[in-house]
Amino acid sequence: MGNFANRKSHAVFIPYPAQGHINPLFKLAKLIHLRGSHVTYVNTEYNHKRLLKSRGPTALDGFTDFSFETIPDGLTPLEGDGDVSQLPSLCQSIRKNFLKPFCELINRLNHSANVPPVTCLISDCCMSFTMQAAEEFSLPILLYFSSSACSLLNVMHFRSFVERGITPFKDERHLTNGYLETKVEWIPGSNLWKEDTECLEWLESNEPGSVVYVNFGSIIVMTPDQLLEFAWGLADCKKPFLWITRPDLVIGGSVVLSSEFMKEISDRGLISNWCPQEKVLNHPSIGGFLTHCGWNSTTESICAGVPMLCWPFFADQPTNCRFICNEWKIGMEIDTNVKREGLEKLINELMVGENGKKMRQKAMELKKKAEENTRPGGCSYMNLDKVIKEVLLKQN
């Protein structure tokens, strides 16, 4: 992939303002930048502040042909806190409040002496107002779907599900709560939480394939009772584990784990607020991933060759879980009403059981396929190359 003859192209990226949407679109932005385009990446003001807090006040300054801009999210500080209960307010605000400031931003960029005029928009599918902006400025637009192809197929059939009286998610938790790799490492990461890199040092002290990695993503919340069952299931399995517990993981309060639990796991467990997940999953000591089945986590686990224990929550996660467990056979599902005894049994099966060995082998086979598809000449590589030529190169 050679660079463009010049840098006339200018792609404006705008993700849905949630961690699971920001990360993949940010990776795509890096790849487009690597191909020679000027990139403007647009976060909400709230998330931009979170990013600066996690990465440092000057972390986003001074990059050549890669700039960051913001638009307001139209929410109060409380509404912008980011857990799943705030998603309806955010979705409503996106429809009502985002178009005008986004158009104002494009107009400002087009009249700036420091960047080339905008030549295309690359937008998260959930930010549908960008299609109006593209029409207003006569710009081509690429809509990015941040979940899997099977999830997209499901979404396309939702209307027919409703018309037939079918409830897409009958699981109570869903009703109530509502690989691209890049060489441009000098552009910062996109985590809105400060990463704890000390966990990587801790992983070095463990045997290969021995550690259970636990992370429920950036939005999922659970009850105190569910937290308790997960905690003691992890403790009782007697396996080393790294557990990421965001401060807002528990509904209506903070994560509180008893001194009895902390004493029990002191020699084999590490609890952290956030971590560089891809580095963790690719660490030799990781043997399994207990996950909510978000698509980012799913693809990152596959690309690391790590089998999964699945506790899906909402959105595309049940669909991903079905494919992980039933189609690809690289994981097992945890009961919705999680109990420590059942979790202990599943962890042991994943880590040292015969089914776990088979799933690990299948995960490694999928990892190999992912590597083949994303390297130069692979189908994913060529598909991205085609998109770049059709959307960006034609604008020069």
Sign of the Cα pseudo-torsion (23, 27, 29, 30, in order): positive
Instruction: Give the closest residue to 206 by CA, choosing from 280, 298, 275.
Output: 280
CA distances from 304 to 143, 206, 310, 363 (A): 27, 18, 16, 8
Domain 10-146 matches domain 198-374 at the CATH topology level: yes
Higher pLDDT, 61 or 193: 61
Residue 204 has pLDDT above 90, yes or no: yes
Q: Each residue of 158-177: pLDDT tens digit?
A: 788 778 877 555 444 443 33
Most confident of 74-83, 142-151, 231-240: 231-240
Helix (H, G, I), strand (E, B) or coil at 275: coil
Q: What do you get for the CA distance between the two ends of the chain, in Å?
A: 17
Q: Where are the alpha helices (DSSP H) in the chain?
A: 19-34, 45-55, 87-97, 99-110, 129-136, 149-156, 158-163, 172-176, 198-203, 224-236, 259-264, 277-281, 295-304, 317-322, 340-352, 354-374, 379-391
Helix (H, G, I), strand (E, B) or coil at 386: helix
The pLDDT value recorded for residue 189 is 54
Residue 194 has pLDDT above 60, yes or no: no
The pLDDT value recorded for residue 274 is 83
Higher pLDDT, 20 or 394: 20
Residue 2 has pLDDT above 50, yes or no: no
CATH 3.40.50.980 fits 10-146, yes or no: no
CA 266 to chain centre: 30
Residue 123 has pLDDT above 90, yes or no: yes
Residue 286 has pLDDT above 60, yes or no: yes
Query: What pTM was computed for the model?
Result: 0.83
Instruction: Give the closest residue to 258 by CA, choosing from 292, 212, 217, 224.
Output: 224
Give yes or no: 21 in active site: yes
Q: What pairs with residue 270 in β-bridges?
A: 242
- CB contact at 8 A, 27 and 182: yes
Neighbours of 320 (CB within 10 A): 26
Q: How confident is the model at residue 258 (pLDDT cuts 50, 70, 90)?
A: very high
> Domain residues of the chain, as ranges?
10-146, 198-374
Exposure string over 208-230, b if 16+ CB within 10 A, otherwise e: eebbbbbbbbbbbbbeeebbbbb
Which of 10, 21, 48, 174 is flagged as catalytic? Answer: 21
Average pLDDT, the chain: 86
The dotted CATH code for 198-374 is 3.40.50.2000
- How open is the CA angle 349-354-360, to the nearest 5 degrees? 85
What integer is the mean pLDDT of 304-319? Answer: 94
Neighbours of 145 (CB within 10 A): 15
Which of 10, 48, 73, 124 is flagged as catalytic? Answer: 124
- Mean pLDDT is lowest, of 188-197, 241-250, 304-313, for 188-197
